[in-house]
Amino acid sequence: MSNDDLYIEQILVGPMENFVYLIGSKSTREVALIDPAWDIDGLLDHINKRDLKLSSVLVTHYHPDHVGGGMGGQSIEGVAEILEKEPVKIFVNKHEAEGMKKVTGISDIDMNIVDSGDHLQIGGNDIEFLHTPGHTPGSQCFKVNDNLVSGDTLFVQGCGRVDLPGSNSEDMFHSLRKLSALPDETILYPGHHYSPQEHETMGKVKEINSYLRIEEIELWKQIM
């Protein structure tokens, strides 16, 4: 599929070097906001100044640095503050819905529950939801054309932690295997700025990320 109509923008926010994304259509000016947190007014102003229309919010996982809520004694802005200003649907994986409600305080009626393989159309762009558990039970990535927004499942170098409540190393192993099968030309857009590269091709990621090297994957499998 062509990228001609695809609008994609990577925005660095917050003290944890989070990446928030705008992904949508150049022709219709509709965009989805991925993992909005930390500075909701700033993100909405950014959208308005570019003459874009927010049509939905997509959530990779429920951790507060990605969706808002309480963490480390501080209250982080996120999807709840979005809903106060823009009545849009929050797209959440079915295994993440309860965590989302607990962390952010939003309700069932605020969410569109999705499963792996579901799709969302924005203009001429088809966004596919990929369930990639491991970091959390309902972690998901968003594949649109030859781009992948991966949240905390996969970084350019490294992957999400699997020692947190709800994490699972075996699930992460299978999720990384799934992502490693994507074409080399796929552009990876991670959830944090944890490497010098803000984004990278999957071909390059497979070279520099030890978690995607075949020998490392096989060793990990033996350990598990």
Tens digit of pLDDT at every position of the chain (224 positions): 457 899 999 999 999 999 999 999 999 999 999 999 999 999 999 999 999 999 999 999 999 999 999 877 788 999 999 999 988 999 999 999 999 999 999 999 999 999 999 999 999 999 999 999 999 999 999 999 999 999 999 999 989 898 888 889 889 989 999 999 999 999 999 999 998 899 999 999 999 998 886 545 555 554 45
CA atoms within 13 A on the CB side of 68: 19
Q: What is the pTM of this model?
A: 0.91
Q: Is residue 218 part of a domain?
A: yes
Residue 195 Cα distances to 27, 33, 93, 189, 216, angstroms:
33, 23, 27, 12, 20
Q: Say how many domains are in the chain.
A: 1
What pLDDT score was predicted for residue 70? 83
Q: Is residue 23 part of a domain?
A: yes
**Contacts with 151 (C-beta within 8 Å, 6 or more apart), sequence order:** 35, 60, 61, 66, 132, 135, 139, 140, 141, 160, 190, 191
Q: Is residue 1 part of a domain?
A: no
What pLDDT score was predicted for residue 220? 53
CATH number at residue 89: 3.60.15.10
Residue type, 48: N
Range of the domain at 164: 6-223
Longest dimension (CA), the chain: 52
CA angle 76, 81, 83 (to 5 degrees): 145
What pLDDT score was predicted for residue 218? 53
Residue type, 74: Q
Residue type, 130: L
What pLDDT score was predicted for residue 2? 53
What pLDDT score was predicted for residue 219? 53
Q: Is residue 111 part of a domain?
A: yes
